[in-house]
Amino acid sequence: MRYPRRTGGRLALTVVLVALLVAGFVVRLVDVQIVRAAELVASADDTRTVTLTTYGSRGSIVASDGTVLAQSVDRFDITASPRQVDLDSTEVKKDGTWTKVPTTEAIAAIAQITGTPAADILTALTADPESQFAFLAQGVTLEVYRKVAALDIPWVYAQVHPSRSYPLGAVGGNLVGFLGTDGPQAGTEANEDSCLAATDGTTTYESSADGVRLPGTEVVDTAAQDGGTVRLTIDTDLQWYAQQVLDREARKLGAEWAVAMVVEVKTGRILTAADWPSVDPNDVNLVQDNAWGARSFSSPYEPGSIMKPVTVASELDAGVISPTEQWSVPWHYTNGLPGDHYIQDAWWHGTMPWTTAGILVNSSNVGLSQISEKMSAAERRDYLLKFGFNQGTEVDFWGESSGTVLPLDEVDAITNRTQGFGQGIAVTAAQMVSAYQTLGNHGVRLPLSLVDECDHPDGSVSEVPDREGTRVVSADAADTTVAMLEQVPTVVLDGVAIPGYRIAAKTGTAEVAEGGVYTDDRIISVAGLLPAEDPEYAVVVSFAKPDTIKTSAGAAPAFADLTKQIIKEFRIPPSTGSTPDIPLTW
Amino acid sequence: MPIRGTSALAPTAPARPAAPGPAARPPLRVVENPAPRRLRVARPRLAHVVVLVAGVAVILLGQLLLSIAVADGAYRVSELQGQQKGLLRDQAALQESLDALSSPQRLSTEAEKLGMVTSGTLPYLDLDTGATSGVRIGGGGSVRGGTGAEIGNVALDGAPGVQADSGSSASSLASGWSDAGPSVGTTSGVAPAGQDAPVDTASGGSGTLPSPVTR
């Protein structure tokens, strides 16, 4: 085909231009799609994509009946942008219309709601006028936050501040523990952190200009995991009652501190571990920092005579003594002791014709020394270790002490005898109540437990305690010892007996050593079991360094009130049978 | 030439008669005669184009409407999620204050304010023998034993009934500025700390106990 020359020229030009244009586009396309692809995609993602950290919430701590002892709550920080603040006037939304009010009025309104002094707010706003961020109030409740938000002040902002709340306050506070700014600081919060702790997750999504998530762009990279719920063995009502009684009695006695524990004999579950002073995890600074932990686990003391039943049960089990064995017991004793050392009873008496039961019920130190001589120090130490002394309990509580049973090479002739009546040996209330649990459970010691289980959000359960028992002494030795203790409330200790109920109890008045020397300070205790015919509950109450009454009688009212409360709360029917008649004298 | 069959044939059909030796003929004759034929052929083409363009337009419009709907849904979801967050917060705050209000400290304080005393041990009736057992002992008086001893609970600070002046009310929350001033409106000591609590104006001033009405 032939074309005129001009037409042909135009066509060629067009073809060349189109070809150039296409070539240009191709180059650009290659550049955008291949050469700079990664860089451009990244920069696009940067502008559109938002990566969000999603927070799992820390698990709760609940009591055995589900009462919440600790939970995660949202608090709010009220913040401001000082750069936006005009100190003369602020435009706020009042009754639906924007109105100018003096800034001082806005500050006063915030101050009134949050409780932060107006002067402090003004300081925060003016400290750095160019700043974009300043705290006006921290950790306020939803109610306060909503009131502040309702003021509609343009330069006021808020952010969520995850926090921890303890609805029962000081009830179980020593057991629950608390969180500091850097994490768990004490108690179960620290002990069970692995169960309670949440795992943060991340979510990415593409956002529109006004912050709305574009549909279908949300990708959960890592799901946030809430923490598990720790279920304690604690009975909150009994725990509260025990703390209330300790508080009342410790004030009367002028004691420095006090502990009370109640353990279920047949399970080893700790129903109550009360401490006084009681820390309120909501505000730990209300008590001294030495009361922030649980003294029932962390403060070892020389228990005194409440140790005697352990000695008697051990020797009955070993077969070296019998319940009605006849002893001649003077009040002052130097037999086999070095130098001018002596052991004597708490009161003067002539040489008494006591049986083993008589020595235990009358709490004779001299008699116990004579009993102790029947067993070697090594054998006694083995028994003490089997009872759980000199080692932490299975609870493994935060700051728990293992107490002290001296190694054999440090046991001298005096300690060899005094250990039998609870001096020269240091125990915690938890260890002591565990020993009584063993006696009450017919000689089988069960591991103490404070946590029933940890329930994870996925339905799995962990931290289930081992409830396998170990035999420490024979059932006969344990039951005989408990039967002897039944006579304590009826014969020697006033105010503990409860009509219709059989209660085994033992008192203890221990001398407190300071710097290796015994002082006139005492730790007074009552420990016991009820109902004595088939014990269900082991109870230990101790007051440290009382002023007004320095004998164990001072601890009796608290023990009596606690046992009465146990009878009421757990609906224990009156005892059957009568107290075994083991002769105390011969 | 009558056109039958599918539209796919249409473009090729008129091209055939024109193909053999067009160069030998004068161009004017050829243009005049086939013109009406070509017009007849072009008519269905126009309809096709209209259908095609309309189809594309409808599809585009549909897609636009769909994405508007989806985007609108996203806003709705966002709004509802915000609402849900607020309601969950309400629930948590109310639960928190309920937990504190059911603490043993407050229950015992309130019980004693109502004149209640601690109970004694219980007597028991054996249904088989009809015999009663147990002795009623203890009971009466305060758990505090008159010493004023109290196991603290900071969580109760500001809770109704415990502090005399709760200083807040549900109504002051809703209206912001109007109640933010020093004169707080009618307060109810019974209303929980949360904002959505109904205000029981009948129960009087703050600190009033929820005493039962005998009918």
Would the pLDDT of B203 be above 90?
A: no
- Using CB atoms, pick whichever of A113, A216, A244 lies closest to residue B180: A113
Q: What is the pLDDT of residues B103-113, one digit of tens each?
A: 888 888 888 88
Would the pLDDT of A28 be above 80?
A: yes
8 A C-beta contact, residue A528 and residue A559: yes
How far apart, in whole angstroms, are the C-alpha atoms of residue B215 and residue B208?
20
Beta strands in A116-199 (DSSP E): 134-140, 156-165, 179-180, 183-184
Q: Is B177 on the interface with A (CB under 8 A)?
A: yes
Instruction: Report the range of poorest mean pLDDT among A57-71, B20-34, B159-173.
Output: B159-173
Contacts of B143 in chain A (CB under 8 A): 241, 244-245
Nearest-by-CA chain B residue for A71: B96
Query: A346: which DSSP letter?
Result: S
Would the pLDDT of A310 be above 90?
A: yes
| pLDDT for residue B138 | 64
- Select the residue from A140, A160, A247 to test the B interface by mutation, using most B Cβ atoms within 10 A: A247
**Helices B34-101/A142-150 angle, 10° precision:** 130
- Which of A142-151, A227-236, B18-27 tops mean pLDDT? A227-236
Going by C-alpha positions, the residue among A206, A280, A207 that lies closest to residue A243 is A280
Would the pLDDT of B163 be above 90?
A: no
| pLDDT for residue A265 | 95
Would the pLDDT of B209 be above 80?
A: no
Would the pLDDT of A125 be above 80?
A: yes
CA distance B143 to chain A (A): 7
Would the pLDDT of A5 be above 80?
A: no
Q: What percent of chain A has pLDDT over 90?
A: 44
Q: Is A252 in contact with B99 (Cβ distance < 8 A)?
A: no
| pLDDT for residue B157 | 75
Q: What is the pLDDT of residues B1-12, one digit of tens each?
A: 455 544 444 444
Would the pLDDT of A257 be above 60?
A: yes
Would the pLDDT of B47 be above 80?
A: yes
Q: Is B121 in contact with A500 (Cβ distance < 8 A)?
A: yes
Q: What is the pLDDT of residues A544-554, one digit of tens each?
A: 999 888 888 88
Whether the link from the prior residue into B36 is cis, omega within 30° of 0, is no
| pLDDT for residue A518 | 86
- Which of A8-12, A87-91, A354-358, B14-18 tops mean pLDDT? A354-358
Instruction: Report the range of poorest mean pLDDT among A344-348, A396-400, A438-442, A492-496.
Output: A492-496
| pLDDT for residue A357 | 93
8 A C-beta contact, residue B155 and residue A167: yes
- Which of A166-175, B157-166, B182-191 tops mean pLDDT? A166-175
Around Cβ A81, how many Cβ atoms within 10 Å?
15
Q: Is B171 on the interface with A (CB under 8 A)?
A: no
Domains of chain A, each with CATH number or no CATH: 76-165 (3.90.1310.10), 236-569 (3.40.710.10)
Q: Is B143 in contact with A244 (Cβ distance < 8 A)?
A: yes
| pLDDT for residue B31 | 54
Nearest-by-CA chain A residue for B79: A212
- Using CB atoms, pick whichever of B145, B152, B193 lies closest to residue A143: B193
Confidence of residue B177 (pLDDT cuts 50, 70, 90): low
Confidence of residue B159 (pLDDT cuts 50, 70, 90): low
CA distance A568 to chain B (A): 6
CA distance A308 to chain B (A): 30
Q: What is the pLDDT of residues A553-565, one digit of tens each?
A: 889 999 999 999 9
Instruction: Report the range of poorest mean pLDDT among A61-75, A352-366, A567-581, B111-125.
Output: B111-125
Q: Is A247 in contact with B149 (Cβ distance < 8 A)?
A: yes
- Using CB atoms, pick whichever of B151, B168, B181 lies closest to residue A243: B151
Q: How far apart are the first and last CA of chain B?
A: 103
Contacts of A280 in chain B (CB under 8 A): 152-154
**What contacts A33, CB < 8 A, 6 or more positions away?**
none
> Whole-number mean pLDDT of chain A?
88
Q: Is B153 in contact with A168 (Cβ distance < 8 A)?
A: yes
Would the pLDDT of A474 be above 80?
A: yes
Q: Is B90 in contact with A142 (Cβ distance < 8 A)?
A: yes
Nearest-by-CA chain A residue for B69: A215
- Select the residue from B89, B122, B151, B187 to test the A interface by mutation, using most A Cβ atoms within 10 A: B151
How far apart, in whole angstroms, are the C-alpha atoms of residue A537 and residue A324?
27
Strands A61-62 and A229-232: parallel
How far apart, in whole angstroms, are the C-alpha atoms of residue A52 and residue B214?
56
8 A C-beta contact, residue A463 and residue A451: yes
| pLDDT for residue A207 | 76
Question: Looking at chain B from residue 80 to 119, which residues have their Cβ under 8 Å from any Cβ of chain A?
Answer: 89-90, 92-93, 96, 99-100, 102-105, 108, 119
Interface pTM, i.e. ipTM = 0.76
Q: Is A237 in contact with B104 (Cβ distance < 8 A)?
A: yes
- Using CB atoms, pick whichever of A94, A214, A278 lies closest to residue B177: A94
| pLDDT for residue A176 | 92
Q: What is the pLDDT of residues A169-205, one digit of tens each?
A: 889 899 999 888 778 888 899 888 989 988 888 888 8
Going by C-alpha positions, the residue among A197, A180, A378, A193 that lies closest to residue A284 is A180
* Two structure tokens written together for B97: 């204050």
8 A C-beta contact, residue A243 and residue B151: yes
| pLDDT for residue A203 | 82
Q: Is B176 in contact with A171 (Cβ distance < 8 A)?
A: no
Confidence of residue A443 (pLDDT cuts 50, 70, 90): very high
Q: What percent of chain B has pLDDT over 70?
A: 48
Instruction: Report the range of poorest mean pLDDT among A44-53, A231-240, A242-251, A259-268.
Output: A44-53
Would the pLDDT of B170 be above 90?
A: no
Contacts of B89 in chain A (CB under 8 A): 74, 142
Q: Is B176 in contact with A564 (Cβ distance < 8 A)?
A: no
Instruction: Report the range of poorest mean pLDDT among A328-332, A474-478, A563-567, B130-134.
Output: B130-134
A353 or A493, which is more confident: A353
Q: Is B46 on the interface with A (CB under 8 A)?
A: no
- Using CB atoms, pick whichever of A109, A214, A243 lies closest to residue B74: A214
Mean pLDDT along residues A194-221: 79
Instruction: Report the range of poorest mean pLDDT among A260-274, A375-389, A482-496.
Output: A482-496
Q: What are phi and psi of A55, to 5 degrees?
A: -105, 130
Would the pLDDT of A436 be above 90?
A: yes
Mean pLDDT along residues B128-136: 80
Would the pLDDT of A287 be above 80?
A: yes
Q: Is B58 on the interface with A (CB under 8 A)?
A: no
Mean pLDDT along residues B159-187: 39
* Two structure tokens written together for A20: 């150039």
Would the pLDDT of A495 be above 80?
A: yes
- AA letter at A319: G
Contacts of B182 in chain A (CB under 8 A): 112
Nearest-by-CA chain A residue for B97: A167
Would the pLDDT of A313 be above 90?
A: yes
Q: Is B75 in contact with A252 (Cβ distance < 8 A)?
A: no
Q: What is the pLDDT of residues A59-116, one digit of tens each?
A: 999 999 999 999 988 888 888 888 888 888 888 877 778 888 888 888 888 888 888 8
